[in-house]
């Protein structure tokens, strides 16, 4: 459904959201461990997200990644769009480039409904909203 990069991105940002909610910063190694991802790979992804403003970072001792208020309010849909583009929200399920109401593929309406459901789910979910449950180990980001 999502690329590996996107799966890691979501997990990493949820992890950073929770770990940095008291104003502290968290390093890339701890993130990689916390979400069980390849360290250098998630580093690349976060660099990218950082350039695009979806996560904040600071170099040097006591530096690391964190989320500012605006980033905490970003939705998972924002993350997915940033990493994977919006083909999952708008592309044809059978790969037709010009699939539309006027020239529909055989599953056009069915896919539309599903894509809308996916979008609504991801749009509703904000990066900051899982902190409590993550902390209580009601939710998991690795394995």
- Of 22, 69, 97, 101, the one binding a copy of itself (CB under 8 A) is 97
Q: Least distance in Å: CB of 81 to DNA? A: 15
Q: Which stretch, 24-32, 41-49, 56-64, 131-139, contacts a copy of itself (CB under 8 A)?
A: 131-139
Exposure class string for 10-46: b at 16+ Cβ within 10 A, else e:
bbbbbbbbbbbbeeebbebebbbebbebeeeebbebb
Q: Closer to a copy of itself by CB, 23 or 95: give it.
A: 95
Q: Closer to a copy of itself by CB, 48 or 84: give it.
A: 84
């Amino acid at each position: 459904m999502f690329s590996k990069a996107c799966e890691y991105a979501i997990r990493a940002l949820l992890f950073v959201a929770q770990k940095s909610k008291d104003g502290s910063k968290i390093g890339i190694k701890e993130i990689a461990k916390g979400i069980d991802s390849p360290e250098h790979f998630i580093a690349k992804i976060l660099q990218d997200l950082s350039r695009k403003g979806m996560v904040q970072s600071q170099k040097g001792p006591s530096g690391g990644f964190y989320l500012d208020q605006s980033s905490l309010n970003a939705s998972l849909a924002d993350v997915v769009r940033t990493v994977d583009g919006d083909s999952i929200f708008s592309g044809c399920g059978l790969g037709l480039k010009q699939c539309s109401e006027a020239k529909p593929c055989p599953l056009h309406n069915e896919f539309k409904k599903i894509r809308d459901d996916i979008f609504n789910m991801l749009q509703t979910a904000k990066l900051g909203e899982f902190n409590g449950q993550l902390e209580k180990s009601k939710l998991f980001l690795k394995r």
